[in-house]
């Protein structure tokens, strides 16, 4: 495989480029009988699309999704599902001056090193526009898991720059997250985050941060030894998202400061079920879900395209002073929240089907 496919039993293959004809995904291995519509998928795509607030790129791509196969009378048939969004609002001429220049921290140089040439229009295949295909596929997985198991996916912006929300993720709701344009459930902290994003945008710069991912009501027993641990697949899923530079689950790096007696999660029985009094393991022990909420953090770097002048080089190895044009996000985090949700759902869906296949 060429790195465009994710999953085993529930498998997605994405296709398309930023300024190509369309972006889409083939979903294979989806169980039959799931009620799904273009309108349901569009709700999540609208959370990811550009131009949705004053702190995102002003580009107005509609991201209108079409279901071209795999459903009949509003339900999945068990055959491959093709979801596609035609590219409409793009301006390739914005990138003409960049076609022979390697933009700092972009994939220009590395793609050319791998393939011998590159699509310089809006970053081509390395563009974050590809993620709309993941979000579309994730809607199907989320609906199945919610209906079948009551699983909820609650991701939100926890940190922008050095501004961090100290909030109990167990109490966060989707309404809290969607109550402001930065998608941070703490209203006071959200205001400070928005002010910071506006400040760096006005300076011609960008800023990164952290998204907290939370998955609730996951049953115990999901995950595979040894290389397909649930935590390992979640890590791969998150690190495959554009601009992600770090992943930690449970106590993460903070757990290294504790002793074993402090970090261990004691078991107890509640309503005839095995529970844990603490959850430093983040809902995954030995690579297998414990039944406790799964929680993790995903670190996003600052957006690479900025208006500030930067030093770089051209394809003919000459020094160049670059001041990028175009329409870009000063902070990618608000639009990345549904992407984190989608990748979480794709991992859990795949592992649930694998678990059912093994334990008939």
- pLDDT score, position 82: 98
The answer for residues whose C-beta is within 8 angstroms of residue 157's C-beta and 6 or more apart is: 165, 182, 183, 184, 190, 193, 209, 210, 211, 212, 333, 334, 337
pLDDT along the chain (360 residues), means of 10: 90 92 96 98 93 71 92 98 88 68 90 87 84 98 98 98 97 96 97 97 95 98 96 98 97 98 98 97 98 98 91 92 77 97 98 95
262-271: long-range pairs with CB below 8 Å, 24+: 265/290, 265/292
User: Any idea which residue has 């998955």 for tokens?
Assistant: 215
| Chain mean position to CA 69 | 25
Name the residue ranges covered by the structural domains of the chain. Answer: 5-358
pLDDT score recorded for residue 147: 97
Q: What is the pLDDT of residue 184?
A: 98
CATH domain 5-358 topology: Chorismate synthase, AroC fold (3.60.150)
Q: Which residues pair with 294 in a beta bridge?
A: 215
Quote the CA–CA distance of 53 and 197 in Å, as a whole number: 12
CA 242 vs CA 251, 314, 324: distances in Å: 24, 23, 19
Whether residue 295 contacts residue 214, with contact meaning beta carbons closer than 8 Å, is answered with yes
pLDDT number for residue 57: 67
């Amino acid at each position: 495989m060429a790195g465009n496919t994710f999953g085993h039993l529930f498998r997605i293959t994405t296709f398309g480029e930023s300024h190509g004809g369309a972006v889409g995904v083939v979903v294979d291995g989806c169980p039959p009988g799931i009620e799904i519509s273009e309108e349901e998928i569009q709700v999540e795509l609208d959370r990811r699309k550009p131009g949705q607030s004053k702190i995102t790129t002003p580009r107005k791509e509609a991201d209108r999704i079409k279901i071209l196969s795999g459903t009949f009378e509003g339900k999945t048939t068990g055959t491959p599902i093709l979801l596609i969004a035609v590219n409409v609002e793009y301006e390739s001429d914005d990138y003409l001056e960049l076609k022979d220049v390697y933009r700092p921290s972009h994939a220009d140089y590395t793609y050319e090193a791998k393939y011998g040439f590159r699509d310089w229009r809006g970053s081509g295949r390395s563009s974050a526009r590809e993620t709309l295909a993941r979000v579309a596929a994730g809607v199907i997985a989320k609906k199945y898991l919610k209906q079948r198991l009551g699983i909820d996916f609650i991701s939100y912006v926890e940190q922008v720059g050095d501004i961090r929300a100290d909030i109990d993720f167990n109490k966060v709701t989707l309404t809290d997250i969607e109550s402001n344009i930065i998608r941070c459930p703490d209203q006071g902290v959200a205001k400070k985050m928005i002010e910071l994003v506006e400040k760096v945008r006005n300076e011609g710069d960008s800023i990164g941060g952290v998204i907290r991912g939370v998955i609730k009501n996951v049953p115990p027993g999901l995950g595979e030894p040894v290389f397909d641990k649930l935590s390992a697949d979640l890590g791969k899923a998150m690190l495959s998202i554009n601009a992600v530079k770090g992943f930690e689950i449970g106590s993460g790096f903070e757990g290294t400061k504790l002793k074993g007696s402090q970090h261990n999660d004691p078991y107890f029985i509640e309503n005839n079920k095995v529970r844990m009094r603490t959850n430093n393991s983040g809902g995954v022990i030995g690579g297998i879900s414990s039944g406790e909420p799964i929680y993790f953090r995903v670190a996003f770097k600052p957006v690479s395209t900025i208006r500030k002048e930067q030093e770089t080089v051209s394809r003919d190895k000459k020094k160049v002073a670059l001041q990028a044009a175009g329409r870009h996000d000063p902070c990618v985090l608000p639009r990345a929240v549904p992407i984190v949700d989608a990748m979480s759902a794709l991992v859990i869906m795949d592992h649930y089907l694998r678990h059912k296949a093994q334990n008939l």
